[in-house]
A and B are shown apart, each in its own frame.
Chain A
Amino acid sequence: MNKQSEISIEVAKKVGSLRDFLDLLESKGQFITWPDEVMPEPDIRNILVAAGDDDKNGPAILFDKIKGYPGKRMVAGVHGSFSNIATLLGYPLGTPIRDLFYDIVGRWTTEAPQLPRIAPDKAPIHEVRIEENFNLFDLLPLYRINAMDGGFYIGKANVVSRDPHDPDNFGKQNVGIYRIQPHGPDTFTLMSVPVHDMGRHMLAAEMDDVPLKIAVMLGNHPAMAMFAATPIGYDESEYAYAAGMMGAPIALTESGNGLDIQAEGEMVIEAEYIHGERQYEGPFGEFPGSYSGVRRAPVFKITGISHRKNPIFENIYIGKGWTEHDTLIGLNTSAPIYAVLKKEFPEVEAVNALYQHGLTAIISVKNRFAGFAKSVALRALGTPHGLVYLKNLIMVDADVDPFDLNQVMWALSVRTRASDIQVLDNMAGIMIDPAAVIPGMGHHLIIDATTHMAPEPIGGDVEIVRRPAGQEIDDLSQIIKSMQKEARK
């Protein structure tokens, strides 16, 4: 059951598209239009890095005076801060990350998703139709995200493809976020490896020599951007999942090449996979904060484009953190790990996998007996995401909020011994960890920072100060803040 609140459903009903969400953000002071002319490089990059530094309250920023792209609009930072995420979920600005985490965990459902269909000739996304003379470099205000990127990347597209062996199966239609590098006026590469659903579709199409048509959606519903990156089952629909998570409709229509797309998106680029063709792709500044190098990647050719009038090109800043990418995927990386663990270990309290897609994560757990937290850690390493991503894992007690790093550091300071640190070497790892000796391999490190309990030896002076907490303390902090405000006048 979706346990979301009435208020959040009311908010979600108002947000049917990116434009609706920008209006909502603007009403909260979380959306600004950059007033000055900017050069595509380095101005956009610099402004987005500065905005990303404020992971709590940074705004979405619209650029409509990009030199050399008159009349074009670009927005980034839409998911760039936890206050923006809170707004989407129907919470006040400044809501603690832990509360947002529990909200997302409570919404975990695909029950009764609302996916109304709009006829293509009535769908806003098809307002303007282009069938020839495509030029991505003219159509979109493209720019180099990081200085040594190999091209002008599209970093926040939702890409739709169907299983070539089961093209009528709605669930097996995949929507994923893959980085896209425009190559020619009407060609681009798409970075997908065989383990991705999209990669499976490409290999299957090539094997049986059948066409693979895709739809690249830009300027998407803010829930799609968040949830298309969430690992769900191969035969589960990302649309159903996102609409279910929002508890409100996401309208669908059909693209010119027959795929289900968002009716109120900003733009759809329809393309066909060129069998057997690979072209140089990269480097690209990725989420570990390092460049993934040049590879040879699959190529697609554009067959049609639709967009709304005066479309907004939504992109993302990604690179050395903190960036929008971290905020966008952080909670949706944490929640599935929690969901798996909670089923088998109800003692698990919360999972914070916000850091570099979970390369470092913190799990809080009620320790049942000595060594228990280590077993929970090992189970976390066996989750689909944990297998390769959970590189450094810190286990803390239930009295430590894993989203409050001051508390986590306290636990590391006073609840660890040499015997609490375990390293599993030569395990699977991610390909693009710049610390990896062999790409794709690495260590898992477990630091058990939970309280020692019998039959472990207990040290001296082990009694912990009971720190006063609760409503009384919260009220007092408010009083102190307002007194301080007075004093500053």
Chain B
Amino acid sequence: MTACPRCSNTNATVFHEGKEGEELIWTLFGCPDCHYHWRDSEPEESINPAKRKAVFQMDTSNPDRYHLILPVRE
């Protein structure tokens, strides 16, 4: 259970681990709810919810507030 820095849901999973030999360099996570991806080695402005600018946070409970790029056929 890993919390997403963007939508704060806790369903994120590991997508990839960056290694040099046996050494783990970073872990890459993906959030299945808001589709944010991040590496735990990134600067805090990208991955720390407390440091991220509020306007970039997401609320996935209300999808309709996000513009649909191509209309979906009924």
| Nearest CB of B to A137, in Å | 4
Are the CB atoms of A206 and B73 closer together than 8 Å? Answer: yes
Cross-chain contact of B37 among A152, A206, A296 (Cβ < 8 A): A152
Q: Could you say which of A15-23, A102-110, A272-280 contacts chain B? A: A272-280
CA distance A161 to B45 in the complex (A): 37
CA distance A181 to B36 in the complex (A): 10
Q: Is B49 an interface residue (CB 8 A)?
A: no
Are the CB atoms of B18 and A69 closer together than 8 Å? Answer: yes
CA distance A295 to B71 in the complex (A): 12
CA distance A199 to B70 in the complex (A): 8
Are the CB atoms of A68 and B70 closer together than 8 Å? Answer: no
CA distance A74 to B60 in the complex (A): 33
CA distance A278 to B70 in the complex (A): 8
The interface bits of chain B over 27-71 (1 if a CB of A lies within 8 angstroms of the residue's CB, else 0) are 010100011111101110110000011001010100100111111
Chain A residue at smallest Cβ distance from B25: A68
Cross-chain contact of B56 among A70, A144, A148, A281 (Cβ < 8 A): A148
How many positions in chain B have a CB within 8 Å of any CB in the partner chain? Answer: 37
For A150, the chain B residues whose CB sits under 8 A away are 6, 35-36
Are the CB atoms of A68 and B69 closer together than 8 Å? Answer: no
Cross-chain contact of A278 among B6, B15, B36, B69 (Cβ < 8 A): B69
Chain B residue at smallest Cβ distance from A206: B73
Are the CB atoms of A280 and B69 closer together than 8 Å? Answer: no
CA distance A310 to B36 in the complex (A): 29
* Given known contacts A191-B69, A192-B70, A294-B66, A151 and B36 CB-to-CB distance under 8 angstroms: yes
The interface bits of chain A over 256-293 (1 if a CB of B lies within 8 angstroms of the residue's CB, else 0) are 00000000000000000001101111010000000101
Size bracket, chain A contacts:
35 or more
Chain A residue at smallest Cβ distance from B64: A296
| Nearest CB of B to A275, in Å | 8
CA distance A68 to B25 in the complex (A): 6
Are the CB atoms of A144 and B46 closer together than 8 Å? Answer: yes
Q: Is A39 an interface residue (CB 8 A)?
A: yes
Are the CB atoms of B66 and A298 closer together than 8 Å? Answer: no
CA distance A206 to B71 in the complex (A): 10
The interface bits of chain A over 92-110 (1 if a CB of B lies within 8 angstroms of the residue's CB, else 0) are 0000000000000000000
Q: Is A412 an interface residue (CB 8 A)?
A: no
Cross-chain contact of A280 among B34, B38, B72 (Cβ < 8 A): B34
Chain B residue at smallest Cβ distance from A208: B73
Are the CB atoms of A138 and B35 closer together than 8 Å? Answer: no
Q: Could you say which of A25-33, A182-190, A449-457 contacts chain B? A: A182-190
Q: Which residues of A contact B (CB under 8 A)?
A: 39-42, 67-70, 135, 137-138, 144, 147-148, 150-152, 181-185, 189, 191-194, 199, 202-203, 206-207, 275-276, 278-281, 283, 291, 293-298
- Taking A68-B25, A148-B45, A278-B68 as known contacts, 10 extra A-B pairs with beta carbons closer than 8 A to each other, sorted by chain A number, are A39-B41, A40-B18, A68-B17, A148-B46, A148-B53, A184-B30, A276-B72, A278-B72, A280-B60, A281-B35
- 14 sample A-B contacts, Cβ–Cβ < 8 Å, listed by A number: A137-B30, A138-B16, A147-B46, A148-B45, A148-B56, A181-B35, A183-B30, A183-B35, A184-B15, A192-B70, A279-B35, A280-B35, A293-B67, A295-B66
